[in-house]
Structure 1
């Protein structure tokens, strides 16, 4: 028997589109299902000014196939040289929806990120004043901190002090991966939210390492123990308005993933919504999928919920997702959950 679920069209509150030929290859995979997305600014060079954000948005819209509807929500990359007044001016135009904090060296193209957090205090205070949210990649990069502990240590050493010293600053903890991240959001009052990725709801660190290294499951923040995955699933499916979808879909060429120093990132734009329907059904929470994917994010950012809808259908036969997306430079592997999924998006 066919089962269907219609929800407000979802948004992606953490997305990598890259640029150039890769942008043209992967943008349709997001625009097919998602109305809007927070666009990550970690290009080379990074998007640090309003003028650069305007130019990047123009390139995104130029790459959008005819007949598709999609709104990129632009962000600025926070550096220790960021000018608070420049940030405020870019926000005042309505273009910039958030500023992204990368600890220097934490992930792909984060070399220009923040090493000394005292040097961004003025920018954070200006953001609190004007109501501009801060998106945080929540990991420390100290060599003496185990990679599986980076998120928990970041909360204690960096995030909590920043929030206490900057009252009113709205913060999104992006792609949380631990019980610690879930608990920190649950224990705090207004002004704090968190995105959760598709892949962190599905894989734990065993999926990366057991039976041989699986490069297409390698991401940053890296997947953690099973207890953390279960905590993320409980948070995502709870209906709690502070948790919402940010796929962190991150395309890399297969040659760059399957190399001696493979790139971090899972490409999930193509099949996120069917995978989420599978996860939420497993948790007995299909009635909360719309909140997580379509309503909680707009609520946090102060934006309207999309008026159009998306329908998911569950069939008796497993859905055949493409293995790869082709780009002019080579293929990009689509994330596979490793099991059959029977949900699909109705065309």
Structure 2
């Protein structure tokens, strides 16, 4: 017996494509199912100007295989030297859809991020004026703050003061991982949204640490307690328009993951939609999957919903996903949920 559900083609509102050989390898994994994606700018060097964003967009489109349709939605990397006028021009042209805030040192390639938030106040005010969203990696990096508390402290010390000081600023809390993040979003108005990743709906911190360290489950923000995972599941499946799919699919080669100081990130582009169908079915919310994956993001960013559709089909036998994606830089391990999945995109 088969079961199927057809939804508008989804978008990914938080995606890492990298560059060069890695871009060539992983872009088809996203473009196969997703129409658009917000592209993270934390390259080395980072994408900090409109010219940088245009050149990166050209490289992405050049890497797109023939016959595939995909629109990269570009972002700028916020630094203490960001030029508000360059940012505004890039947004007015339609090239740049958001600006990404990394607290310095918070995650992969974030060394150029913000340390003194007073130095970016003028940029944030310009963004509020023109309606350009700010995507935030919501963690403090203070050495005295426990890694599992970084998100909650960021909300209190950084995010809430920024929003109070900059009325009208549209903010996306990216890859929230805590009940604190869920509750904060619910307490605010429609100028605040939050992306939730596929892997944070599936794993908690036990998956990383119990029975030996599992490097392919290590990500930043790090997965938290089971109570937080359940809060994320409830938010994603609730139908609340403020919660948006953003996979944070982050490819690293196995050599860079399976090492004494492994890189943070889960690569989920290949199997995200099947995993989401499993999660939403398990929570009795298949009828809300389209909202989370296909409608809430366009609504927040002021873009049209995709006209095309995809169909997810459930069958009697488990779906077999590739274990790895090969690149000229080395193999990338595909996220393994740790349980059989019976959904596939057909």
TM-score normalised by the shorter chain: which range applies?
over 0.9
Structure 2 portions without partners, runs of 5+: none
1:163 is matched with which residue?
163
1:27 is matched with which residue?
27
State whether structure 2 residue 96 is matched by structure 1 residue 100.
no
Distance apart, 1:329 and its partner CA: 1.6
Distance apart, 1:189 and its partner CA: 1.0
Distance apart, 1:28 and its partner CA: 0.1
Question: Which structure 2 residues correspond to residues 175-324 of structure 1 after superposition, within 5 A?
Answer: 175-324=175-324
Question: Which structure 2 residues correspond to residues 43-122 of structure 1 after superposition, within 5 A?
Answer: 43-122=43-122
Distance apart, 1:8 and its partner CA: 0.0
Whole-angstrom distance in 2 between the partners of 1:109 and 1:190: 30
Q: For residues 17-73 of structure 1, give each alpha carbon's deviation from its aligned partner in whole angstroms, at most 9, with x where no partner exists.
A: 000000000000000000000000000000000000000000000000000000000
Match of 2:21, SS state, is helix
Whole-angstrom distance in 1 between the partners of 2:319 and 2:89: 47
2:36 is matched with which residue?
36
Q: For residues 111-161 of structure 1, give each alpha carbon's deviation from its aligned partner in whole angstroms, at most 9, with x where no partner exists.
A: 000000010000000000000000000000000000000000000000000
Match of 1:189, SS state, is coil
Whole-angstrom distance in 1 between the partners of 2:103 and 2:89: 24
Whole-angstrom distance in 1 between the partners of 2:342 and 2:190: 37
Match of 1:330, SS state, is coil
Whole-angstrom distance in 2 between the partners of 1:40 and 1:284: 32
2:126 is matched with which residue?
126
TM-score, with length taken from structure 1: 1.00
Q: For residues 273-302 of structure 1, give each alpha carbon's deviation from its aligned partner in whole angstroms, at most 9, with x where no partner exists.
A: 000000000000000000000000000000
Whole-angstrom distance in 1 between the partners of 2:300 and 2:200: 21
Distance apart, 1:86 and its partner CA: 1.1
Whole-angstrom distance in 1 between the partners of 2:263 and 2:189: 36
Distance apart, 1:190 and its partner CA: 1.9
Whole-angstrom distance in 2 between the partners of 1:250 and 1:126: 30
TM-score, with length taken from structure 2: 1.00
Q: For residues 236-265 of structure 1, give each alpha carbon's deviation from its aligned partner in whole angstroms, at most 9, with x where no partner exists.
A: 000000001000000000000000000000
2:11 is matched with which residue?
11
